[in-house]
Amino acid sequence: MTRTKVNLAYIANDSERKSTFKRRKKGLMKKAEELSILCAVDTCAIIFSPYDPEPDVWPSPLEVQRVIAKLRNMSPLEQNRRMMDQKDFIRQQLTRLSEQMAKQQREIRHKEMTNVMFECLKGKGFEYLNMSDLNDLNNLLSQNIRAIERRIKLLEKRHNGGD
């Protein structure tokens, strides 16, 4: 399938929507089956669409009933604990993404500071840096100094241990 970016909104064009539905429904069922087999877990999927009065299901209506029974046999608390609608799920995704974002920004900060450090080593002054930048630079230098000293120890050990 082509890696075109999809706009997350209702597809207005009827035929496009129908073909997307067929394609993605097939993919969804496949993914459900893979999860079920790979992890040896009970899974089911139920889809109601305007294209069919009967729901599309996986694995089979009988199996779906069995999984539903297993769900409904649990306490209401357990059933609801990990039950999500679209809003819940998207909020969860947003939380996950903002964590990734924070991590990414930390990495970028580290890389930018490394550039600054090398520029300073070349002789560029650092009077223009503010307190927070200076502290980060200081920490980065400590980190690097420690790493170099570890490396020096290792090389010296190898050199000496050679006899």
Q: How far is the CB of 108 from another protein (least distance, A)?
A: 5
Q: By CB under 8 A, what part of segment 5-34 binds another protein?
A: 6-11, 17, 20-21, 24-25, 27-28, 31-32, 34
Separation between Cα atoms, residue 29 and residue 58, nearest integer Å: 6
Residues 6+ away with beta carbon under 8 Å from 137: 113, 116, 117, 120, 126, 129
User: For the packed helices 131-160 and 86-121, what is the interaxial angle rounded to 10 degrees?
Assistant: 70
Check residue 60 for interaction with another protein (CB under 8 A).
no
CB nearer to another protein: pick between 85 and 163: 85
Which tokens go with 8? Answer: 């997350």
Q: How far is the CB of 126 from another protein (least distance, A)?
A: 6
Q: Which of 62, 77, 91, 161 is the binder for another protein (CB under 8 A)?
A: 91
Q: Which of 152, 160, 162, 163 is the binder for another protein (CB under 8 A)?
A: 152
Q: In terms of residues, how long is the chain?
A: 163
Separation between Cα atoms, residue 64 and residue 69, nearest integer Å: 9
Check residue 1 for interaction with another protein (CB under 8 A).
no
Q: By CB under 8 A, what part of segment 100-119 binds another protein?
A: 100-101, 104-105, 107-108, 111-112, 114-119
# chain residues binding another protein, by CB under 8 A: 101
Which tokens go with 40? Answer: 């040896």
Which tokens go with 38? Answer: 């790979």
The candidate with the shortest Cα–Cα distance to 29, out of 50, 46, 52, is 46
CB nearer to another protein: pick between 8 and 163: 8
CB nearer to another protein: pick between 125 and 163: 125
